[in-house]
């Protein structure tokens, strides 16, 4: 276990609780996605874990020790990617990495070697001698992440690291972060209010709302919490009864019908058989596929009555 939060409460003067009996666990090599709308308490949770904020009640264990904000040795085992960019726009990317590496106590050849490795990881090896003020938003974000990786932290915490960047950079970041966790056994906490990101990256998802974890689990288990089956509708040009029989014989299919060129297939919640279905349908000309499978947004909506993106009550 890398991090464990037990009934953590944080209150800012006279306001409602920013963290309200927050419970969370992060294991070695695990990517934990902390998903929640604006003001849910994600940054407050992160600052508490790192020891930058004192909590009012409950406890935080990190690397087997109690977090009390005073242990510098704990801080050195964490890589923190803050929500705001912390890079220096006028220094070159190389100088930024050098500066942050030294801050974490790295020196000499080892630091140079790490800068090289990290630059490759974040895809900036050919642009190191430029100042980030000339970078795109996505490149700045990648550099900002790189600065937190030099000291090979056992726990990396990323607070909305992809806000305001292009989809290509976002996918690049998602891929290398996931890879990093699974190849080097690093634990990662990744906060976001983008559902697609958390779906793509997290082994375990925690949904936070008003300082409280309202649901946790893998994507599949969370979606399975939503009652009701999936209905897949497939329109084809040349319907075929044999294909219908094959579909009916699939393990996860509860029911399948064929009416006026449309196959309607019912599966239990939380399963995705679209790929197998499409290969069974490959002899046919498919005009349209509608998959009404519930997603993480539906989970959030069901639990809170709000949409995640804007916190609006529906």
Buried b (16+ CB within 10 A) or exposed e, 162-178: beebeeebbebbbebbb
Residue 15's binding partner out of ligand ATP, Mg ion, none, with CB under 5 to 8 Å set by partner kind: ligand ATP
Q: Which two tokens stand for residue 255?
A: 């029911």
Nearer to Mg ion, 44 or 304 (CB): 44
Nearest distance in Å: CB 239, ligand ATP? 48
> Where do the DSSP E strands lie in the chain?
3-11, 17-26, 31-35, 57-62, 65-66, 78-81, 155-159, 187-192, 204-209, 212-217, 230-236, 255-259, 262-267, 286-291
Nearer to ligand ATP, 40 or 280 (CB): 40
Nearest distance in Å: CB 216, ligand ATP? 16
Q: Footprint of ligand ATP on this chain (CB under 6 A)?
A: 12, 15, 18, 36, 38-44, 83, 193
Buried b (16+ CB within 10 A) or exposed e, 283-303: ebeeeeeeeebbebebbbbee
Q: Footprint of Mg ion on this chain (CB under 5 A)?
A: 42-43, 83
Nearer to Mg ion, 143 or 158 (CB): 158
Nearest distance in Å: CB 210, ligand ATP? 8
- Closest by alpha carbon to 57, among 6, 12, 130? 6
Nearest distance in Å: CB 59, Mg ion? 22
Nearest distance in Å: CB 87, Mg ion? 18
Residue 12's binding partner out of ligand ATP, Mg ion, none, with CB under 5 to 8 Å set by partner kind: ligand ATP
Task: Give the integer Cα–Cα distance in Å for 104 and 98.
Answer: 10
Residue 193's binding partner out of ligand ATP, Mg ion, none, with CB under 5 to 8 Å set by partner kind: ligand ATP
Nearer to ligand ATP, 43 or 144 (CB): 43
């Amino acid at each position: 276990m890398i991090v464990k939060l037990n009934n953590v409460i944080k209150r800012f003067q006279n306001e409602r609780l920013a963290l309200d009996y927050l419970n969370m666990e992060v294991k070695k090599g695990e990517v934990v996605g902390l998903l929640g709308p604006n003001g849910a308490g994600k940054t407050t949770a992160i600052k508490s874990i790192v020891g930058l904020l004192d909590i009012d009640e409950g406890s935080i264990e990190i690397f087997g020790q109690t977090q009390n904000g005073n242990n510098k040795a704990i801080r050195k085992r964490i890589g923190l990617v803050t929500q705001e960019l912390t890079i220096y726009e006028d220094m070159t990317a190389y100088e930024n990495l050098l500066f942050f590496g030294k801050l974490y106590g790295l020196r000499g050849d080892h630091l140079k070697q790490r800068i090289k490795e990290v630059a490759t990881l974040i895809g900036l090896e050919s642009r190191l001698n430029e100042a980030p003020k000339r970078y795109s938003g996505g490149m700045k974000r990648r550099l900002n992440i790189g600065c937190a990786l030099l000291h090979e932290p056992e726990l990396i915490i990323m607070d909305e690291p992809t806000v305001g960047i292009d989809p290509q950079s976002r996918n690049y970041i998602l891929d290398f972060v996931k890879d990093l966790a699974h190849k080097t056994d690093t634990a990662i906490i990744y906060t976001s209010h983008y559902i697609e990101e958390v779906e793509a990256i997290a082994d375990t998802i925690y949904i936070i709302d008003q300082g409280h974890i309202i649901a946790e689990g893998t994507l599949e288990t969370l979606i399975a919490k939503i009652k009701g089956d999936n209905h897949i509708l497939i329109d084809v040009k040349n319907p075929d009864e044999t294909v219908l029989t094959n579909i009916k014989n699939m393990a996860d299919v509860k029911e399948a019908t064929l009416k006026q060129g449309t196959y309607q297939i019912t599966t239990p919640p939380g399963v995705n058989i679209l790929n197998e279905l499409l290969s069974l349908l490959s002899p046919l000309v498919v005009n349209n596929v509608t998959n009404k499978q519930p997603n993480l947004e539906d989970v959030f909506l069901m639990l809170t009555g709000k949409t995640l993106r804007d916190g609006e009550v529906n």
